[in-house]
Structure 1
Amino acid sequence: MKEPKTQYSDLLAKVQINIPYRYLKDRYLNIFLEHNANPEIGIDADTLDTTPLLDFRRITEILKKHNRKITLHGPFMDLVPGALDRMLLKATRERLERFFEIVPVFEPESVVCHTGYDRRHYRENWEEWLSRSIETWKPFVETAERLNFKLLLENVFEETPEVHRALFDAIKSDKFGFCLDVGHHNVFSRASLKTWLDALGDKICEVHLHDNDGKEDTHLAIGKGKVDFVGLFNYLKQESIKPTITLEPHQEETLWQSLASLHLLWPLDD
């Protein structure tokens, strides 16, 4: 975010930009403030283990002072919320509990997490996986209801929307919803984007935008790969769905390229 792309200032104020907490704190905080950008702050396990609560409070106070909208992305590496191994399940739940303990500090509008489901591992134990996953998420949905934020489950390795649909049907709450990652869908899903939209359209609260060639999750700029962004935004407009839009650039230059493309796809008056 080095160059002053002032023509995108209005658009920047309407979207979230995913960024790990350590990068925001050490390098990008002032740049976010200068550009009126809103962070989706990624909190990983190492950040949870090494960051004093006062540091989280300080960053939040600065962002809130500048009227920035905050969303969060929870830890996901090595976590399996429906793990069959009880030791792994216990470790996953403890890690998520630690994360949700610090969530109130940020006063986020939403919190994104992963289901941890991979059909290659759990296909033959689907019912048991689902039961354990439901028990994992129930208390965190209750936390979301109590603190008034949305807990959103993102698609990653899920090949179809059935996993998310089963979880949302089991835990009914308007604070429990879906984060559609179109880049992940393009690489990992066997079902069409329309199938996902039709199955989960009523639960879509956030959309993660990045592109790829359908082979690797490369987080290219919007328009540089094969993701059907036109179809996505046509559907959202047709169904009057207005989710939080989050960009996930892995390089600074792809942010500006994505904003240029998004400006054409998503008029500000929509």
Structure 2
Amino acid sequence: MFGVSTFCLHNLPLPEALEKLAAITDRIEIMDDGPHFLETAEPLLSFDGHFSLHTPCRGTNIASVLEPIRRASVEVMEQCFRIATEVNAGLVIHPGYFAWAEERGKAEQQLRRSLADLTALSDEHSVRFFIENMGNWDYFLLKTPEELPLIGAAAFALDVGHANQMKCLDEFLKHPASHYHLHDNYGRDDSHSAVGDGTIDFSAVMKAVRNSGIVPVIEVATFEGVIRSIGQLQAL
């Protein structure tokens, strides 16, 4: 069984994307950003199945050294927690970034402040959240396993494509994860390619996934790529 992200159908209105995905899976992750940004839970309430939400990431930064921006980013996450409560969904959250190399230490402190805020929201709304590792993008936090202590006791979401970009997937697979994003690449661009269209050894990935008992989410850029990915993964 596999979940699928609406990322593959971001060019369609969310209700149309949900209809199309509901025909192939009962576990859907909403790319809660851009055309699929959720202001309420209403678009999800007419669908059965299980949801997770990938919180807005392009306009937020929970590690911002500018405190008003950090607080505003947490406020955006708070809205996501409220929506997630209505549909019993978990939340995937990016760890944030810093604009100047010299500010990394302050950004790490700000991330810890945000994680404390998010943990309080998690307790208040009875919603789990997961912090996702990042790809090879300058100034983002949590790109390698050595940075996992930054998220403390927070649950970890392993994005295998991002880890492959950073040449550290094997090391990440040694650490417990509570959520998985599956997509492929050749270790250069974050292409979100179909499984098999890259260099990732998905037999090793799926061994870790099966051992965890977690249903992974296919986060591929095209619907056709999702269908091919399901076929490739089922063959394993």
Code of the aligned partner of 1:162: E
Q: Aligned partners of 2:75 and 2:39: how far apart in 1?
A: 18
1:89 match: secondary structure: helix
In structure 2, relative to structure 1, the CA distance for the partners of 1:33 and 1:229 (3 Å cut) is closer
Q: Does 2:170 correspond to 1:194?
A: yes
In the TM superposition, what is the alpha-carbon distance from 1:236 to its structure 2 partner?
Answer: 4.3
Q: Does 2:95 correspond to 1:115?
A: yes
Contact 2:61/2:70 (CA < 8 Å) preserved in 1?
Answer: yes
Q: Does 2:45 correspond to 1:61?
A: yes
1:69-128 residue CA offsets vs partner (Å, 9 max, x unmatched): 1111100003221111234323323322333333222221x210100136xx46543432
Contact 2:129/2:155 (CA < 8 Å) preserved in 1?
Answer: yes
Q: Which residue number in structure 2 is paired with residue 11 of structure 1? A: none
Q: Aligned partners of 1:93 and 1:124: how far apart in 2?
A: 24
Q: Aligned partners of 1:246 and 1:32: how far apart in 2?
A: 12
Q: Aligned partners of 2:103 and 2:39: how far apart in 1?
A: 39
Write out aligned runs for 1:257-268 (5 A). Answer: 257-265=228-236
> Structure 2 stretches of 5 or more lacking a match?
136-141
Q: Aligned partners of 2:234 and 2:179: how far apart in 1?
A: 18
Normalized per residue, the structure richer in helix is: 1
Percent sequence identity over aligned pairs: 21
Q: Aligned partners of 1:111 and 1:45: how far apart in 2?
A: 17
Write out aligned runs for 1:240-255 (5 A). Answer: 240-255=211-226
Q: Does 2:91 correspond to 1:104?
A: no
Contact 2:133/2:163 (CA < 8 Å) preserved in 1?
Answer: yes
Contact 1:100/1:140 (CA < 8 Å) preserved in 2?
Answer: no
Q: Which residue number in structure 2 is paired with residue 132 of structure 1? A: 110
Contact 1:115/1:153 (CA < 8 Å) preserved in 2?
Answer: yes
Contact 1:19/1:40 (CA < 8 Å) preserved in 2?
Answer: yes
Q: Does 2:30 correspond to 1:30?
A: no
Q: Which residue number in structure 1 is paired with residue 150 of structure 2? A: 166
In structure 2, relative to structure 1, the CA distance for the partners of 1:235 and 1:32 (3 Å cut) is closer
Q: Aligned partners of 1:251 and 1:46: how far apart in 2?
A: 16
1:219 match: secondary structure: coil
Code of the aligned partner of 1:116: G
Q: Aligned partners of 1:99 and 1:150: how far apart in 2?
A: 11
In structure 2, relative to structure 1, the CA distance for the partners of 1:232 and 1:122 (3 Å cut) is farther
In the TM superposition, what is the alpha-carbon distance from 1:47 to its structure 2 partner?
Answer: 5.4
1:178 match: secondary structure: strand
In structure 2, relative to structure 1, the CA distance for the partners of 1:125 and 1:160 (3 Å cut) is same
Q: Aligned partners of 2:208 and 2:39: how far apart in 1?
A: 43
In structure 2, relative to structure 1, the CA distance for the partners of 1:261 and 1:142 (3 Å cut) is same
2:216 match: secondary structure: strand
1:63 match: secondary structure: coil
Q: Which residue number in structure 2 is paired with residue 231 of structure 1? A: 204
Question: What's the Cα RMSD here?
Answer: 2.5
In structure 2, relative to structure 1, the CA distance for the partners of 1:17 and 1:94 (3 Å cut) is same
Code of the aligned partner of 1:216: D
1:71 match: secondary structure: strand
TM, length-normalised to structure 2: 0.84
2:63 to 68, 82, 94: 82
Q: Does 2:51 correspond to 1:70?
A: yes
> Structure 1 stretches of 5 or more lacking a match?
1-13, 266-270
1:179 match: secondary structure: strand
**Matched residue count:** 228
In the TM superposition, what is the alpha-carbon distance from 1:232 to its structure 2 partner?
Answer: 1.9
Contact 1:19/1:41 (CA < 8 Å) preserved in 2?
Answer: yes
